[in-house]
Amino acid sequence: MQAVLFDLDGVITDTAKYHFTAWKQMAERIGIEIDSDFNESLKGIERMQSLERILVHGHQEQKYSQAEKERLAQEKNDEYVSLLAGLTPEDTYPGIKELLTELQENKIPAVIASASKNAPLILEALQLNTYFHAIVDPGGIPGKPEPDIFVKGAEQAGADSVYCIGIEDSQAGIEAIKAAGMYAVGIGEESILGPSGADIVYPSTKELTLQRLLTAAQLA
């Protein structure tokens, strides 16, 4: 195995729930209801794209100018960032630090492939920066489910995609990993991530050990 590419929100820590809370509040202010089923279609999706999906969901896609949309997205991000304020290393999902340590010991680069512009802030709060070889800049490339962010992550690690593993909690992310030609590990529910193409789904990050990943992906 040449590299492991990690999504951030919902894989490294439970920030997916804060994204949902912040979008829900913003949507309610403009009269749109979103539930957790709809939220599955927002996971992994870049900020302005997520807003577009919410507006379409609420039949308001024609209602706002570009400047108003930017203001709505900014409001959501302000709320989201305020929810991140209490984040500490203890909020890292179980098993993640252990896996990152194993990867480091085995000289296998770990890379963050997240759509979030808040990734550096979150990794700093979790004190995990030093475990990652790179954080892919999501700016200027097509978002998930396109493969670009994973392809770029492999390149930054000097790895060949077919010898990489990607770990994701979102349908769009699993599709992106598969489109990049990698082995896709889902964190969450088989019924949600299986149909998107996950090669294996674990209910929790607790299951993620280097040995288990190598065996599952047959990438010793």
**Among Mg ion, ligand BG6, none, partner that 13 touches (CB below 5 to 8 angstroms by kind):** none
Angle at 19 between CA 196 and CA 12, to 5 degrees: 65
Of the ranges 44-52, 61-69, 91-99, 123-131, which one interacts with ligand BG6 (CB under 6 A)? Answer: 44-52
Q: List residues with catalytic annotation.
A: 7, 9
C-beta closer to ligand BG6: residue 208 or 210: 208
Residue 126: which of 80, 85, 91 has the closest Cα? 91
Minimum distance from residue 107 beta carbon to ligand BG6 (Å): 27
The one among 13, 50, 156, 161 contacting ligand BG6 by CB under 6 A:
50
CA distances from 7 to 74, 110, 123, 128 (A): 22, 11, 12, 14
Residues 80-109 that bind ligand BG6 (CB under 6 A): none
Nearer to Mg ion, 7 or 40 (CB): 7
117 is in an annotated binding site: yes
Distance CA 7, CA 123 (A): 12
Task: Please tell me what DSSP assigns to residue 85.
Answer: G
Q: Please indicate if the annotation marks 43 as binding a ligand.
A: yes
- Cα–Cα distance, 17 to 13 (Å, whole number): 10
Render 111-143 in DSSP notation, one character per residue: EE--S-TTHHHHHHHHT-GGG-SEE---TTS--
Q: Could you say whether residue 175 binds ligand BG6 (CB under 6 A)?
A: no
118 annotated to bind ligand: yes
- Check binding of 46 to Mg ion (CB under 5 A): no
Distance CA 100, CA 128 (A): 9
Each residue 107-146 as x (binds ligand BG6 by CB under 6 A) or -, in order, gives -------xxxxx----------------------------
Alpha-carbon separation of residue 118 from 30, 35, 80 (angstroms): 24, 24, 10
**Residue number with CB closer to ligand BG6 (42 or 128):** 42
- Residues that bind ligand BG6 in the complex, under the rule CB under 6 A: 8-9, 16, 19, 42-47, 50, 77, 114-118, 170
